[in-house]
Amino acid sequence: MQYINLPGNGVKSMAIEVPKPDFASQEDWDYLMSVRNPDNIKSNAKADIERIRSEGWPEDMATMGGATLLLTVLGRKSGLPRTTPVNYARYNDNVYVVGSIAGLDKHPVWALNLESALKGKVEMPGEEWDFEARKLEGEEREDIWPKLDAQFPFWGHFQKYCEREFMVFLLTPARS
């Protein structure tokens, strides 16, 4: 496996070079590879949030073809609310999020924050609710993984080439 250095704002990030999957068009893959670094991901996330806040949810809101929600969680260091767009999958009326960040070598900040807080707010078209989260591990994660991968194949593709195991969370409406 060959590692590539990714540009960043002083944060050293590396990723394994990943081949294009058959399910992705060359145009989509080239775009994804061109923005596959922490600075671009953060910048695009900020632009998506601003677009949703100013124009409402666009009908075509998807990130690399995957359903997208806004996830707000308290920062584990700052204690301040942090909002980010995240791909999600629904299975049996449950909502799952996966900390893939395009297979970069470090977990996404939102996943580390969620692992710490285990609660927050979800926003989707026509829905907004407070949630409780549970990190899935072991057999429970293994059982749901093929179903999540079937809904958003980039998760499985990047996981094959990434040394860290992507965090998987189940989000359920908070009990009042």
pLDDT one-digit tens code per residue, 21-31? 999 999 988 88
Say how far apart CA 104 and CA 159 lie, in whole Å. 10
Average confidence score pLDDT of the chain: 88
- Burial class, 87, CB count within 10 angstroms (exposed 0-12 / middle 13-18 / buried 19+): buried
Tell me the chain's radius of gyration from C-alpha atoms: 16
Q: Are 73 and 114 in contact (CB under 8 A)?
A: yes
Q: Does domain 3-173 have CATH number 2.30.110.10?
A: yes
Predicted TM-score (pTM) of the model is 0.89
How far is 112 from 122, CA to CA, in rounded Å? 17
Report the alpha-carbon distance of residue 76 to residue 128 in Å, rounded: 22
Can you tell me the mean pLDDT for 100-121? Answer: 95
Whole-number pLDDT of residue 32: 86
Q: Is the pLDDT of residue 14 over 70?
A: no
- Model confidence band, residue 12 (pLDDT cutoffs 50, 70, 90): low
CA dihedral 20→44→50→66, nearest 10 degrees, is 20
Of the candidates 92, 107, 100, the one whose C-alpha atom is nearest the C-alpha of residue 170 is 92
pLDDT at 60: 67
Q: Does the pLDDT value for residue 162 go beyond 50?
A: yes
32-77 residue pLDDT tens = 888 888 888 888 899 989 989 998 887 766 666 688 999 999 999 9
Please check whether residue 126 is in contact with residue 112, taking contact to mean a CB–CB distance below 8 angstroms.
no
What is the per-residue pLDDT for 140? 97
Q: Tell me the two tokens of residue 84.
A: 């980010």
Closest by Cα among 96, 128, 127 to 114: 96
pLDDT of the residue at 1: 38
Show the DSSP H helices in the chain as ranges: 26-34, 38-55, 109-117, 138-151, 153-161
Specify burial of residue 3 (Cβ count, 10 A radius: 0-12, 13-18, 19+). exposed
